[in-house]
Structure 1
Amino acid sequence: MKMKIAVLGGDGTIGRKIVSEAQKRGHEVHSLSLSTGVDVMNLELLTESLKNIDTVIDVLSILTADKETATKFFTNSSNNIILAEKANSIKHHITLSIVNALTNAEEGGHYKGYYAGKKAQEEVISSNTIPWTIFRATQFNEFVPQNLNNGLPEEALLNMMMQPDDTSEVASELIDLVENPVFGILPDFAGPDKISFAEMNLIYLEATNQLNSEDEIYLRKIIDKKEFTDVLTPKTNYKAGKIKFTDWLKNETTNK
C-alpha cells in the first residue's frame, strides 16, 4: 500500500537514503529540513508540513558534544514534532536513535553530551500517546570521512571499537517499519564486524590514497597497543546487517 511519509532531516547522510528507498518502493515521500524551508522549531510551519502524512521518520541530528546543547535540541524538536503529529492525527512516529543511548549518557566519554541528548529524545518519544518506534543503530560507515575533515580524530575516539552499519541497510529497515509497523524500542541494529576506529581510518586513508607516513605510524601504534574501549557497540541481542565497512568502502572508491 502506498504511504505518505515525512522524513525529518531528509537531506542528511541517512535521510537521503531513506527518501530514496521509500521512493523506490512507490511511497509518496516528503523530505523536510531547513534546506527545504521547514524548521522543526517553528511549530506552526511544522504542523502545516505534516498535513495528510501517515508516518513520520525523524532522523534529525546536531553536531555537538555539549550536553546542554544536545539535550535542548533533541527535547525541543521532539516535543514540537509530537505536537504537530497530534494536530494531524499521525498514525506512526519512528525515531532513529543510537545504540547505548541510555548508558552512554553517563559513560560515553567525550561524546556523552550527545548521548544525553538522544536519551532525552527517547524519553520524550516514549512518553507520548502517538504509536511510536525507536530504532537504535550504531555509527554509520560515513562516520570516518565525516571525522577526517580536520585531520585525524582525537586518540580517545580512535581507541574506540566500532560495529559500523551501512546507511542503505538502515534505510531499508526503517521503510520496512513503515510498511509493517513494530512498536516500542526495537533490538539494536549494527554492522556485521567489530573494528577499531583507528583501523577504520587506516583502511579508509589507504584506499583513498590519503595516507601519509606520519598518520600511518600513529594509527598503527594505536592499533598495536589494543587498548580499545567498547562503549559504542551493542551489549545485548541485536540484529546485524550484511554490508561490511570494507564492502562500503570498495563501493565508494569504485564509484568515484
Structure 2
Amino acid sequence: MKITVIGGTGLIGSRVVTQLRGSGAEVVSAARATGVNSYTGEGLEEALDGADVVVDVSNSSYTDEAAAREFFYASTLNLLTYGAAAGVGHHVALSVVGTDRLARAEGGYFQAKDAQERLIVESGRPYSLVHATQFFEFIRNIIDNASRGGIIRLADTRIQPMAADDVAAAVVEVALASPVNSTVEYGGPEIFDLADLATRELRFRRDEREVVADALGTYFGAWLGPDDLLPDPDARIAATRFHEWQVNSNTISPLSIS
C-alpha cells in the first residue's frame, strides 16, 4: 500500500509517517520542505502518483476565518482533484472534535475547518474524517492565547485531550482501513475543566500565573458550551494519560487505541 502524507513533516505528520512506515506501508512524506505545496499544487502530481491513500494532516497558520478558509479550500480542492486524477481510493483528513459546534459558535478557524470537511464529504470521493480532541502539546498555545496581563482567562468549558502520538495512531488506524465515508472520533482517557488542566500544566513547569475560568471567555474566538470540546460517548479512547505524558513527553512510547 502506498500512502502520501500531506503535512508529513509537522507535529502529527512526522509521527504518522514513522508509524505508517513501521506498519510496512510505502510512504511519501509531502510538505513544502520536501517540494510539495498542497495550496499551490506544486509537486502534488508527483507526490500522489500511484498512491492508494492520501492523508491530509496539514494545517493553516492563520486563525482568522478568511485566511484559514482560503488555505483549506484551495489545498483540499487540489488534493481531491489531483487525487482523483491519480486514482487515489481513500482521502483521510484530520480535523477537530466538535468542528460543527465550534463553527456555529463563531470561531473563524473552525468555520474554515467545517467548510473543508463539507468539501470532502460533497466531493463524491471515498473518504474518512478523523476527529481528534485537542493535543496535550497544544495546551501551552491555549494558555498563551488566553494570557492577559499575567492572568490566564479561559473559557469555562471541559476538555478531553490526547497525546500527539495517540492522534497519529488514530490517523494511521483509519488510513490503513477501508474508507468509512463518515467521521471517526477519538479522545483522551480523562476529562478536565480547561482551567484546571491549564493550572496543572503551569504548576508542573513551576509557572505561578493565575488561571481563571471565565464564563465570558472564548476559545480561539468561539463561544463554548461546557461540553462543546468533548467527543461523543462512542468515541475511541486513547491510552496516554496527561500526567504520564508530562513525565515522559521527551520520549515516544507505544500507543494503544481502544
Map Cα deviations across residues 150-174 of structure 1 (whole Å, 9 max, x no partner): 7847855453321101222222222
Distance 2:179 2:145 in 1: 40
Among residues 127, 139, 145, which one is paired with 1:144 in the alignment? 139
Aligned sequence identity (%): 29
Among residues 116, 135, 155, which one is paired with 2:111 in the alignment? 116
User: Is the contact made by 1:158 and 1:196 (CA closer than 8 Å) also made in structure 2?
Assistant: no
Map Cα deviations across residues 164-214 of structure 1 (whole Å, 9 max, x no partner): 0122222222222222224122342111111123222222222233x13xx
Among residues 17, 20, 27, which one is paired with 2:18 in the alignment? 20
Tell me which amino acid in the other structure corresponds to 1:232.
L
Map Cα deviations across residues 127-161 of structure 1 (whole Å, 9 max, x no partner): 11321111111111111133456784785545332
TM-score normalised to structure 2 length: 0.84
| CA deviation after TM superposition for structure 1 residue 35, in Å | 1.6
Change (3 A) 1:78 1:156: farther
Distance 2:156 2:17 in 1: 34
Among residues 80, 84, 87, which one is paired with 1:82 in the alignment? 80
Change (3 A) 1:228 1:202: farther
| CA deviation after TM superposition for structure 1 residue 253, in Å | 6.0
Match of 1:207 in 2: 204
Distance 2:117 2:251 in 1: 38
Match of 1:41 in 2: 39
SS at 1:102 equivalent: helix
Unaligned runs of 5+ in 1: none
Match of 1:61 in 2: 59
Match of 1:230 in 2: 227
Among residues 194, 199, 220, which one is paired with 1:197 in the alignment? 194
Distance 1:79 1:157 in 2: 35
Tell me which amino acid in the other structure corresponds to 2:83.
E
Q: How many pairs does the alignment contain?
A: 241
Alpha-carbon RMSD: 2.5
| CA deviation after TM superposition for structure 1 residue 126, in Å | 0.7
Match of 1:249 in 2: 246
Structure with bigger helix share is 1
Unaligned runs of 5+ in 2: 215-223, 253-258
